[in-house]
Amino acid sequence: TQDPAAANADWGPFGRPIFDDPRARALSRVGVVDVGSNSVRLVVFDGAARSPAYFYNEKIMCALGAGLSESGRLNPEGRERALSALRRFQHLAKGMGLPPLSAVATAAVRDAEDGPEFCAEVLRETGLKVHVIDGREEARLSAQGVLLGWPGAYGLVCDIGGSSMELAEIQENSVGRRVTSSLGPLKLRDIKGGRKGRKAHIKEVIEQLKGEMGAQRDRLFLVGGSWRAIARIDMHRRSYPLKVLHEYRMSAKDVRETARYIETCNLDKLRDACGISSSRMSLVPYAIDVLSRLVKTFKPKDIAVSSYGIREGLLYEQMPQRLRARDPLIEASRFAEAKDARVPGFGGTLYEFVSPLFSGARHSKRRLVKAACLLHDVSWRAHPDYR
């Protein structure tokens, strides 16, 4: 048999594992806070920098942007909830021994007249400095989050929050044109003229966005909680057997049928069946109108849900360029082996042993074989019935 260390010395087309690089380990635990218009979330990433594991993930629904269009100010109750959540997140970060949290705020805080006052209060009460980013920067970070999960991806990234919606094009591991709009569900609730007026407004804005972005007929990547809620409903409608939202695919026909399904269903029963929170479900009827018009206007070849967005984009921002094009599947498998296998490194030996069976296979197939070899022993602690 080949020595595991020797097997790991040459990964062939997969390169050397970055997890063993001290510069990668320096990014092994990073805390990111996203102060959105609808929710405030803390994510702590753990593991190999190229394909991070989620050490901690907590979301508090605050609705900071509720009523913003009319009052011009942050929702007072949401502001209290957000401050309480940020205070809690700082305590958690201290308990985990994290480096200082990276915190960004998006549409609600940047648009509200009391946004600077809120940021000053957060700094005074928690010591956390919140960076307010503009819409184009929000689009860039969300697109970078998609690139973290899909290196080499190309297409149009659409990130919907509570008070805004951003578009960004990605190609060749870089972010191209970016635009922002006010098509967030919290703002759409305040549009006059009922659903007819709202749909006319959505159509007008998306036509303007198309004029700025140009033709975008490749893949449409959906980022944001409202899109994920719609994907859950699509899964329920289709009796889809899995619950994994990341990389879930829909077609234009699926979007049309799910839009009709939402119109005809009792939303409370649908919410219970799909496990969607009541606050999120209340935004779905607005979000589905946006998605329907978006798909009709841009005509993407297919649609994919991305669980990676602005928070992952912040992590991607810290990665050196040489790591960004690495394969996240192989890196995640390598990390899982190093953490959980009884003989870390043996996956490389196993891959060398079985490689002759796949000598004529394409790279996509050999990639899966490599991942399977690395993961062959990570579930040994589980009961045999579950392995």
- Pair 167, 300 in one domain: yes
pLDDT of residue 7: 46
Task: Provide the pLDDT confidence category of residue 12 given band limits of 50, 70 and 90.
Answer: low
Residues 102 and 186 in one domain: no
- Rounded Cα distance, 222 and 227, in Å: 6
Closest to 168 in 3D by CA, of 221, 230, 231: 221
For residue 151, is it within any domain? yes
Q: Is 48 a member of any domain?
A: yes
| pLDDT reported for residue 27 | 55
Average the pLDDT over 270-292 and give the result: 95
**Residue 106 and residue 167 share a domain:** no
**pLDDT tens per residue across span 314-360:** 888 877 777 777 788 898 899 889 889 999 999 999 999 999 999 99
CA 348 to chain centre: 31
Task: Clarify whether residues 293 and 338 are in a common domain.
Answer: no
Which helix (H) or strand (E) is 306 found in, with range? strand 303-306
Q: What is the pLDDT of residue 26?
A: 54
Q: Per-residue pLDDT for 28 more than 80?
A: no
Q: Give the lowest-confidence range in 199-203, 338-342, 371-375.
A: 338-342
Pick from 8, 11, 58, 1: nearest CA to 31: 58
- Residues 160, 235 share a domain: yes
pLDDT at 169: 97
Across 108-113, average pLDDT: 95
Answer yes or no: do 304 and 157 share one domain.
yes
Q: Is residue 93 part of a domain?
A: yes
My answer on whether 150 and 254 are in the same domain is yes
Least reliable range by pLDDT among 13-22, 29-38, 360-369: 13-22
Confidence label for 1 from pLDDT (cuts 50, 70 and 90): very low
Strand order in the sheet with 155-160: 174-181, 165-171, 155-160, 219-223, 303-306, 249-250
Give the side-chain half-sphere CA count within 13 A for 81. Answer: 20
Give a three-class secondary structure readout of 250-314. ECHHHHHHHHHHHHHCCHHHHHHHHCCCHHHHCCHHHHHHHHHHHHHHHCCCCEEEECCCHHHHH
Domain range spanning residue 153?
136-312
Chain mean pLDDT for the chain: 90
Provide the CATH number for the domain around residue 185: 3.30.420.150
Q: Please count the structural domains in the chain.
A: 3
Last residue of a domain, one of 132, 153, 173: 132
Question: What pLDDT shows up at residue 137?
Answer: 95
Among the three residues 132, 160, 189, which one is the final residue of a domain in this structure?
Answer: 132
The β-bridge relationship of strands 155-160 and 130-132 is unpaired
Residues near 207 by beta carbon (within 8 Å), at least 6 away in sequence: 297
CATH number of the domain that residue 118 is part of: 3.30.420.40
Strands 130-132 and 102-105, by their bridges, are parallel
Specify the pTM.
Answer: 0.84
Tens of pLDDT, residue by residue over 207-232, are 999 999 998 989 999 999 999 999 99
120 and 160 part of one domain = no
242 shares its domain with 332:
no
228 falls within a domain: yes
